[in-house]
Structure 1
Amino acid sequence: MELQIKLEPQVTGNIGLYYCCYRLSLLGWNVMPTARNARGVDLIAYNASGSKFIGVQVKALSKRNAVPLGTTLDKIMGDFWIIVNNVVTEPNAFVLLPSEVKKHAGCNKKDGKVSYWLDPPRYDQDEFRDAWHRIGSGLA
């Protein structure tokens, strides 16, 4: 039986954010969430020696949906993008570079308005699934 819980979007976002903190911490990174809903990355992580810093953008989804990217791809930032779907039942994480998000983004133009998104088949790929190794260890 699948668990059916309807969460507020902010709670869904929190689950994804703290799931990423947990997974990055297991890799030895010191992880800090940034100010919520502020422009910029969602997580800052630094290695054990403090010699390397990374910025991570997290997108959390309650199920296997498209990721909305907004009206321009210019705001895609950070060193890594982590998409976490199925956050309530069984989180799946996909680790992408910002360049890969831009490359795989879809675009819709309607009534003079432009919107970008990332469809599940474009991010839900073996090369991105649970690809925490792409970020590397924070122990160095």
Structure 2
Amino acid sequence: MIVAPARSNRKQITGNAALFYVAWQLSRRGWHVMPTIRNARGSDLFVANGDETVFFGVQSKGQSAKDDIKVATVREGNVIDHVMSDWWIITNEPSSDQPTCYILTKVEVAERAKRDRDGQCWIKLTHCHEFKNAWDRIGMAPTF
């Protein structure tokens, strides 16, 4: 019998499901993927090709069926200064049988982030259709 997680654990489980779904998708494309320490500032995944000539960081965000996602808390300055990873992959409903991922560069995240009165920056996924399941943007790992 499967028991639903306690309310306090749902957010963490959603984040973990998103992280490992993204790692699986990148691994399928020939990339070597290493998760970093959770809840640390910066990338959630470090990614490299087989001979380690190409490297990039991925920020993974997971959510359960929302239209927007929090990007950063920015009290002063530009959003781009607070967006660290090369790629951002936002996974909607990662625990479902068919999660949806939005694949954006850090520049695209910063360009689309809207700041609220509290300094929280959000991206509205309904405005990101061109990034929906766009794994070809990252592509297959190059081999030399």
Give the secondary structure class of the aligned counterpart of 1:130.
coil
Q: Answer yes or no: is 1:49 the counterpart of 2:57.
A: no
TM-score (norm 2): 0.84
Q: Would the aligned equivalents of 1:82 and 1:96 in 2 still touch at CA under 8 Å?
A: yes
The counterpart of 1:77, out of the listed 70, 81, 84, is 84
Give the secondary structure class of the aligned counterpart of 1:48.
coil
TM-score (norm 1): 0.87
Paired residue type of 2:44: D
Q: How does 1:1-140 map to 2 (within 5 A)?
A: 8-72=10-74, 73=79, 74-89=81-96, 90-109=98-117, 113-123=118-128, 125=129, 127-140=130-143
Paired residue type of 1:108: D
Give the secondary structure class of the aligned counterpart of 2:22.
helix
Moved over 6 A (4+): none
Q: Percent identity?
A: 37
Alpha-carbon separation, structure 2, partners of 1:133 and 1:70: 26
Alpha-carbon separation, structure 2, partners of 1:19 and 1:86: 11
Q: Would the aligned equivalents of 1:63 and 1:87 in 2 still touch at CA under 8 Å?
A: no
1:71 positional shift: 2.0
- Which blocks of at least 5 consecutive residues in structure 2 are unaligned? none
* Matched pairs, number: 132
RMSD: 1.7
- Which blocks of at least 5 consecutive residues in structure 1 are unaligned? none
